[in-house]
Structure 1
C-alpha cells in the first residue's frame, strides 16, 4: 500500500525563496504519485521591500528598445519590418533611435508582426502592489467557492490578461490555479488548468528581469510538473538547482553573516530567525516524506515519529504553525494504520484533528510568530498573500474529511473514536 497514494496535495518545502506555508488541494486528480503526507500545500513568495516591487505603477514606455529587442530575437532586418508595415527602412531606423515613434495606427500591425500584444510592444507594464495582489487573490478564492468552476476560472483569466506583465501577480495566479485545479471536474480539465499555469511560469522565466521572481517561477513549474505526473521534467528542473552540495545552498547563512559584519545587527537577527523557521518547516516536511518512503519499516518509522514529536513539542509547532504538524500526525496515522496498530493510529488522528481545528478557527491568524520567533510577524506581513490561506477554508475542510477515507484506516473506521474525530473536524 502506498501511503501517499491519496492525492490530496503536495507537501514539499523548496529552497531558494519559497517556503511551504498553507494551502489546500483536494485530490480530485491523480497524475502524480505524491507520497508525502498530503493535506495542504502552499507557496508564499518573499519579496525584498527595498527593491520597489510592491508599488502599483506603470513602467516608462520603451517602444524603441522593444522594437530593437523583438527584431533581434526574431532575426528580422529593419527592411523586412519596414516592408511588412509599408514604411521606409529610414522610418524604422528613426523609431529605434528614438527620433520618432510609430503612428498609433501602425502599432497593431507591428505587434502582429512580432506576435506580441500592443501593450508588450509599448512596454506598458502595470505593477500591482502587494495589497492589490492580496485583494484580487482573496476575491478569486471566494469566487471559486461561490460560483461554478467555469465561471471562476473565466474571471481569473480576465485578471491574468489584464495584468499579464505584472510578474509577481502572475506568479500568485499560478499558485491560485494549482490550488483550485482539482475543482475542474475531470482529469483532462484539471490538466489543462495546470498546463495553463505552466505557461504562466514560462512567460515569467522568458520575460521577467527579476532573478528572484524567475527562480520562484522555476520552482513553481517543477511543482506543477510533479502534480501532473511529469516527474522526469521536474527532475530536470530541480536536480541541479536543488543540489545541497552547491555553494549557493549556503547563501542564506552567508547573507546573515554579511549583515552582521556590516554592522546591520537587526537585519542579521531577523534573517537568521526567519531562516531557522523556514528550515524547521523544511525539516518537518522532509521527515513526513521519510515516513512515506519507509512505510513498511515500522521500527524506523516509530523512531522518526518519536524524534519529530520532540521537535514539534520543543518549538510548540501545534500553536506556531499547525499545518505541518497536522501533516505529520496524518502521515504517522497512515503508517500505524497500514501496519495494523489501530490504537496508535487513532492517537495520531486525534492529534491531527486538534491541529486541523486550530487551522479552521477563524479567530486565529493562520500564520504568526511567538515569543521565541518574535520577528516573524513583520516578515509574514511582507509576503504577497500575508497570512491569507491560498484556498478557502471550507474547501480545505472538505479535503481534510476526504483524507479520512484512506484505505489505511479501514480497520478503525467503524470505531467510535474514529467517528468522533470525523465529527470534530466536520463541525470544529
Structure 2
C-alpha cells in the first residue's frame, strides 16, 4: 500500500463526511489513537478493515487507494510533454520517469502508447545509439520502449493504432539486430491470399435484408484496401533497386487512386514521396533535365499535400465509415495537422539540401527557384 496516499485519503474522506476521529473510530471498532496514526502515516489499517472504510465513505477501493486505471486526457498530455522534455535533456532520468508513469497506468493503452512511442523515437536516434557516448541510457530507453509497446499490443491487439505500434516495435527490434524476433511478430500477419471476409459478410447481410450493413462492410474493406495499396506503393519508392521506370509506373498508380474527389485526403503524402524518390534517382544518375522537371512537379505535389493536411476534405463516398477518416472541427487535430505539414516540408528540404547530387545544381535557376518555393531559407534559419 502507498501509506502516505492512503493516509491522505482517509483524512480527506473523514472530513468530507463530517466525522471526528473518535466517531470514525467508533464506527470501525478501533481506538481514536489508531485513526490518528492512520492519518499521520504512522501505521496502516488492518487489511480486513479497508473494505469497511471504503463502504463507510461511499467510495470504491480504487478511490480510497487513489488508483486510476486510466489517465485523463490532461494527464496523458502532461506525461507526454514532460517525458519528451526529459528525453531531450537526460535519457536516464526520462526512463525513470517513464517507468514510474507506465507502472501507474499499466492498464491504459493510450498513455502507454504515447510513452512507448516517445521512448522508441529516442531509442532509434543515431545520436544516442553511439555506445561511446551513453550506452546505459540507450539500452535502458530501448528496453523500456520494447516492454511498453509489447504491453500496448497485449492490451489493445485490434485497436486503430495497432499497426503503427507493431511497426515501431519491429523497427526497434531490427535496429538492435533482432530481425528474427521482428519477423516472428509480423510475418504471421502478412496475408497469403486476398481477404474475402467482407464480401462474405456483405452477402449474408444482403440475404438478411440489411443492405446498410452490407454497404458499411464493403466500404470499410475498400477503404482499408486502398490504404494498403497506397502504403505499399509509398514503401516501394524507398526500396533500393526499384528503377526510375518502375517509379514512373508507381506514380501513375498513385495519381489514379488519388484522382476521385477527396481521395487524396486518404494518403496525401503518397505522390510527393514517390515523386521525390524518382527525381532523386534521376539526378543521381546524371539526368539533370528530367530530375529538375520532376523536382518542379514535386513542389506542386507537396503544396497540394500540405494544403490537404491543413484542410482535409474527406471523400463523400466513405461517409458510412467516417470514423476512419480525418476529424474535422477539432482544434487540437487542426493544430496537429498544421504542424505535420510544416514538419513534412522541412524534412523534404533537409533531404534535398543534404544530398550531394542536388548540391551540384546550386546556381541553376530552375533548382534555385524550386528551393525558394520550398522556403529553404526560412526552414534552415
TM-score (norm 2): 0.60
| Equivalent residue for 2:149, pick from 201, 205, 208 | 201
| RCO comparison, higher one (Cα < 8 Å, 6+) | 1
Q: Cα deviations across residues 314-360 of structure 1 (Å, max 9, x unaligned)?
A: 56654554222222222222332333332332333334333444555
CA distance in 2, matches of 1:391, 1:143: 23
Alignment partner of 1:281 is 2:237 = no
* 1:42-62, Cα deviation, whole Å (9 max, x unpaired): xxxxxxxxxxxxxxxxxxxxx
- Secondary structure of the structure 1 residue equivalent to 2:259: helix
**Aligned partners of 1:138 and 1:172: how far apart in 2?**
11
CA shift at 1:234, angstroms? 1.6
Cα distance in 2 for residues equivalent to 1:278 and 1:266? 18
Gaps of at least 5 residues in structure 1 are 1-99, 105-117
CA distance in 1: counterparts of 2:101 and 2:184, whole angstroms? 31
Q: Quick one: distance in 2 between partners of 1:234 and 1:334?
A: 30
What's the counterpart of residue 364 of structure 2?
415
- Report what 1:186 is aligned to: 128
1:333/1:363 Cα in 2 relative to 1: closer, same or farther (>3 Å)?
closer
1:154 to 90, 94, 103: 94
- Preserved contact between residue 337 and residue 345 of structure 1 (Cα < 8 Å): yes
Aligned match of 1:364: 310
Q: Aligned in 2, Cα 1:316/1:369: closer, same or farther, shift over 3 Å?
A: closer
Provide the TM-score with structure 1 as the length reference.
Answer: 0.55
Separation in 2, partners of 1:423, 1:160: 45
Aligned length: 305
8 Å contact kept, 1:312–1:318: yes
CA distance in structure 2 between the partners assigned to 1:290 and 1:381 by the alignment: 25
Q: Distance in 1 between matches of 2:253 and 2:148?
A: 40
1:193–1:269 distance in 2 versus 1, CA, 3 Å: farther
Q: Which has the higher helix share?
A: 2
Distance in structure 2 (CA, Å) of the matches to 1:403 and 1:148: 25
Give, in angstroms, the shift of residue 165 of structure 1. 1.7
Q: Compute the displacement of 1:295 (Å).
A: 3.6
Aligned with residue 266 of structure 1, among 204, 209, 212: 212
RMSD: 4.6
The alpha-carbon distance between structure 1 residues 380 and 314, as it changes in their structure 2 partners (threshold 3 A), is: closer
Task: Describe how 1:293-308 pairs up with structure 2 within 5 A.
Answer: 293=239, 295=241, 297-308=243-254
Give deviations 1:99-125, integer Å, cap 9, x for gaps: x96676xxxxxxxxxxxxx98xx9956
Aligned mate of 1:173, from 81, 105, 115:
115
- Contact kept, 8 Å, 1:128 with 1:169, in 2: the verdict is yes
CA–CA distance in 2 between the matches of 1:296 and 1:362?
Answer: 28
Aligned: 1:238 with 2:183: no
Tell me if 1:347 matches 2:302: no
Q: 1:260 to 1:128 in 2, by over 3 A?
A: farther
Give the secondary structure class of the aligned counterpart of 1:369. Answer: coil
- 2:324 counterpart residue number: 379
In the TM superposition, residue 183 of structure 1 has moved relative to its aligned partner by 6.3
Give the whole-Å Cα distance in 2 for the aligned partners of 1:260 and 1:300: 41
Superposition deviation, residue 179 in structure 1? 4.8
Secondary structure in 1 aligned to 2:316?
Answer: coil
In the alignment, the residues of structure 1 paired with residue 245 and residue 309 of structure 2 have an alpha-carbon distance, to the nearest angstrom, of 40
Aligned residue among 341, 349, 355 for 1:406: 355
1:42-94 per-residue CA deviation (whole Å, 9 max, x = no partner) reads: xxxxxxxxxxxxxxxxxxxxxxxxxxxxxxxxxxxxxxxxxxxxxxxxxxxxx
Residues 356, 314 of structure 1: alpha-carbon distance in 2 compared, 3 angstrom cutoff = same
Residue 44 of structure 1 aligns with which residue?
none
CA distance in 2, matches of 1:141, 1:397: 23
The structure that has the greater radius of gyration is 2
Shift of 1:369: 0.7
Question: Which position in structure 2 is the counterpart of 1:338?
Answer: 284
Confirm or deny: 8 A CA contact 2:262 2:316 kept in the other structure. no
C-alpha deviation, 1:199, in angstroms: 1.0
SS in structure 2 of the partner of residue 347 of structure 1: helix
Compute the displacement of 1:236 (Å). 1.9
